[in-house]
Chain A
Amino acid sequence: MPDVLAILEQRGGTLKKVSHETLTAARHLADGLNGEVHALLIGAAEGSGDGLGAFGADKVLLAGDEGLRDYQADRYAAIAASAGDYPVVVIAATALGKDLAPRVAARLSGALAADVTEVRYEGGIVVTRPVYAGKAVYTLKVTGSPCVLSVRPNAITPEQSEKAGTTDTMKVEAAEPRAKTVEVKQPEKAALDVAEASVVVSGGRGLKEPENFGLLEDLAGALGAAVGASRAVVDAGWRPHAEQVGQTGKVVSPNLYFAVGISGAIQHLAGIRTAKTIVAINKDPDAPIFKVADYGIVGDLFEVVPKLTEEIRKVREG
């Protein structure tokens, strides 16, 4: 039976939203293969399987209890590999998925297409995935079986497609993991590194006073972002040098970059051109930053930013 195994993800026992994307991808493939989607959920609370039918799961396999709530690589990989005979396995390419997918592929001796952004069935499984830091895109046909696909988060829009969902409990064998997690510590450094962060909120002279950076710190907090600064404000001593977004085109490549009160006239534009999405907030509609930005709001940042922070918090909590 050409069924598709969708390995879902939970955190603290609750299903993560990205799992809907995984299911949608799995559903497309299962329809092409004329098979079912079986969703595997490890370490989740009872009842977590409810509602997954709405996203296309024919069957939900619940494995393990709170003992497996926290990710343990070896055990999760063993469970996934023994869940059944699946020609296709789909998983979200989250931090967890990036670790788990290759383990499952190796145990199944299967092909792995990692970080795919498109999944479709055209006489066979066809996927697209970015490479060279997004400078190029591969279109690939899956010729091997089994195969494991890890899907980039936010790339697939979840679709509802009602299926009858049944829930089974999967028997899980006790086993000693090869590598054992002994604790999860709180991170030491509070501040994210501007060069590493996937979301950056940067401020310039438009903030008028150093204290006003507090607005950006709030926005950054809501986004889980790093705070950056233009050279002008670093030179003025408002922000530490470590936050400066490069003046000589040092590439800062976040997924999302907010340029607040930065005109973009000098030094800043060059270094942020490879950011995936740039949002500019500036009161001057002719500011050069708007030429580089994907989205812009012309307005008073002292009004826009607090509202933005508020709305982002709502999105994050929802």
Chain B
Amino acid sequence: MKLAVCVKRVPDSEARIKIGADGSAIDGSGVKFVLNPYDEYAVEEALKLKEAAGTGEVVVISAGPDAAQETIRTALAMGADRGVLLRCETLPLDPLPVAKALAAELRDGSFDLVLFGKMAIDDSSHAVGTMVAELLELPCVSAVAHLSVTDGSGTAEREVEGGVEVVEFALPAVVTADKGLNEPRYPALRGIMMAKKKPLEVKEAGLEAGGLEVVSLSHPPERKAGRIVGEGAEAVPALIEALKNEAKVL
């Protein structure tokens, strides 16, 4: 079974975000970078599918800077077979150029299934995987919480409003993984050691600029001091009002 997983190097969710001097990107110094958590589910699912099939290959592909090689190595340490880095210093915020580069890399690979995490925790665009599927004209199911694959076809489940949607599709296909799809394995010591020796190809990504230009990156407005809206049950309407119109969470 030939599987590809696309992964992204992102700042750790606990990282303190500082804006760089030019006001248009984060200051990456001292920031801990990790394999995008949603991508871990994708890697794990690919490994499980390969193990179930008994034979096959899991290729890990990432678009990113040189340091993304470390991210690919993490996936190799989990058990993937080889990696490809599409190198580019910075990724545009517009997902389309990245999707085009990944689609070009995947097109001739004869993959049965291509997996992504449903979104990257840095930009939360929730887009690249689905876009790649559209560019390759393949069936795509996003935010998959359960997946089963048999000879040439697959069934995926995903949460929708009011229930769980069950979707069937023929292979080759693209799925994007949601939390809970599986329990990603931690790399074992042996896996970490072997990862160093697995092939990792580096190519220039040659990304287009995309259709979004950064004007600025800034911190969100300070959290306003809280207020007591009133006393007792009579205060409830005022609270609802505030939640609806001020906080906009209702």
Contact = CB atoms under 8 A, between A and B. Distances in A.
B197 to A, nearest CB: 34
Nearest to B126: A98
B124 A115 contact: yes
Given A77-B134, A115-B125, A184-B162, A141 B243 contact: no
Interface residues of A, number: 85
B168 interface: yes
Contacts of B161: 11, 95
A121 to B, nearest CB: 14
Given A99-B130, A103-B130, A304-B236, A112 B125 contact: yes
A241 to B, nearest CB: 19
Most A C-beta atoms less than 10 A away, residue of B17, B19, B131, B214: B131
A236 to B, nearest CB: 27
A306 to B, nearest CB: 8
* Chain A binding surface SS class: mixed
Given A95-B160, A102-B131, A278 B226 contact: yes
Considering residues B14, B99, B165, which has the most beta carbons from chain A within 10 angstroms of its beta carbon? B165
A173 interface: no
B240 A132 contact: no
A181 to B, nearest CB: 5
B242 A144 contact: no
B235 A299 contact: yes
A286 B146 CA distance: 47
Nearest to B248: A154
A177 B170 CA distance: 11
Identify the interface centre among B123, B210, B242: most chain A CB within 10 Å of its CB: B123
Contact of A185 (B132, B143, B166, B231): B166
B235 A141 contact: no
B30 interface: no
B130 A297 contact: no
A178 B211 contact: no
Interface string B102-143: 000000000000000000011111111011101101111111
Tell me which of A96, A102, A143, A147 has the highest count of chain B C-beta atoms within 10 A of its own C-beta: A102
A184 B229 contact: no
Interface in B195-249: 210-220, 223-224, 226-233, 235-237, 239-240, 242-245, 247-249
Interface string A38-66: 00000000000000000000000000000
Interface string A288-299: 001111111111
B159 interface: yes
A126 B130 contact: no
B173 interface: yes
A110 interface: yes
Interface stretch (A159-167, A205-213, A307-315): A307-315
Given A136-B26, A179-B168, A277 B125 contact: no
Contacts of A306: 233
Nearest to A139: B215
B33 interface: no
Nearest to B208: A144
A297 B96 contact: no
Contacts of A135: 17, 219-220
Contacts of A295: 226-229, 239, 242-243, 247
Interface in A68-106: 71, 73-74, 77, 95-96, 98-99, 101-103, 105-106
B226 A291 contact: yes
Given A133-B121, A143-B212, A294-B224, 8 more contacts: A106-B96, A106-B132, A132-B26, A136-B218, A139-B217, A141-B213, A179-B156, A296-B228
Interface of B: 11, 13-15, 17, 19, 26, 93-96, 99, 121-128, 130-132, 134-135, 137-143, 156-157, 159-169, 173, 179, 210-220, 223-224, 226-233, 235-237, 239-240, 242-245, 247-250
7 contacts: A99-B142, A132-B122, A256-B243, A278-B226, A295-B242, A312-B250, A315-B250
Interface of A: 11, 71, 73-74, 77, 95-96, 98-99, 101-103, 105-107, 109-115, 126, 130-145, 147, 154-155, 157, 177-188, 196, 199, 251, 255-256, 276-280, 285, 290-300, 303-304, 306-308, 311-312, 315
